[in-house]
Amino acid sequence: MPSSINVQFIGTAEFVPRALVELLNQVSNPDCDDQFPLLTQKAGLARVALHGGLLFFTFGCHLVLLCFSYSHGWSAIMQWCLYVLGLTTFHVLEFLMTALYNPRTCTADSFLINHSKAYTIAAIASWVEFWVEMWLWPGIKGATWTILFGTSVVFVGQFCRTLAMYTAGKSFHHIVQVNKDSRHRLITTGIYSLLRHPSYFGWFWWSIGTQVLLGNPFCVICYAFASRDFFANRIPFEEQALRQMYPKQYEAYCERTPVLIPFL
Question: Rounded to an integer, what distance in angstroms lies between the CA atom of residue 70 and that of residue 73?
Answer: 5
CA distances 214 to 115, 136, 249, Å, are 21, 15, 42
pLDDT digits (tens, 9 = 90+) for 200-241: 999 999 999 999 999 999 999 999 999 999 999 999 999 999
Annotated domain spans of the chain: 13-28+45-256
Question: Rounded to an integer, what distance in angstroms lies between the CA atom of residue 156 and that of residue 219?
Answer: 20
Q: Are 88 and 158 in contact (CB under 8 A)?
A: no
Residue 80 burial (CB count, 10 A): 23
Three state DSSP letters for the chain: CCCCCCCCCCCCHHHCCHHHHHHHHHHCCHHHCCCCCCCCCCCCHHHHHHHHHHHHHHHHHHHHHHHHHHHHCCHHHHHHHHHHHHHHHHHHHHHHHHHHHCHHHCCHHHHCCCCCHHHHHHHHHHHHHHHHHHHHCHHHCCCHHHHHHHHHHHHHHHHHHHHHHHHHHHHCCCCCCCCCCCCCCCCCCHHHHCCCCHHHHHHHHHHHHHHHHHCCHHHHHHHHHHHHHHHHHHHHHHHHHHHHHCHHHHHHHHHHCCCCCCCC
13-28+45-256 fold:
Four Helix Bundle (Hemerythrin (Met), subunit A) (1.20.120)
Return the minimum-mean-pLDDT range out of 108-117, 119-128, 205-214. 108-117
Nearest to 222 by CA among 88, 126, 82, 116: 126
9: left (phi over 0), alpha (psi -120 to 50) or beta: beta
Looking at residue 2, what is its pLDDT?
44
Question: Rounded to an integer, what distance in angstroms lies between the CA atom of residue 261 and that of residue 203?
Answer: 10
pLDDT digits (tens, 9 = 90+) for 142-192: 999 999 999 999 999 999 999 999 999 989 988 888 887 777 889 999 999
Average pLDDT over residues 100-129: 92
Question: Rounded to an integer, what distance in angstroms lies between the CA atom of residue 69 and that of residue 65?
Answer: 6
Q: What is the pTM of this model?
A: 0.85
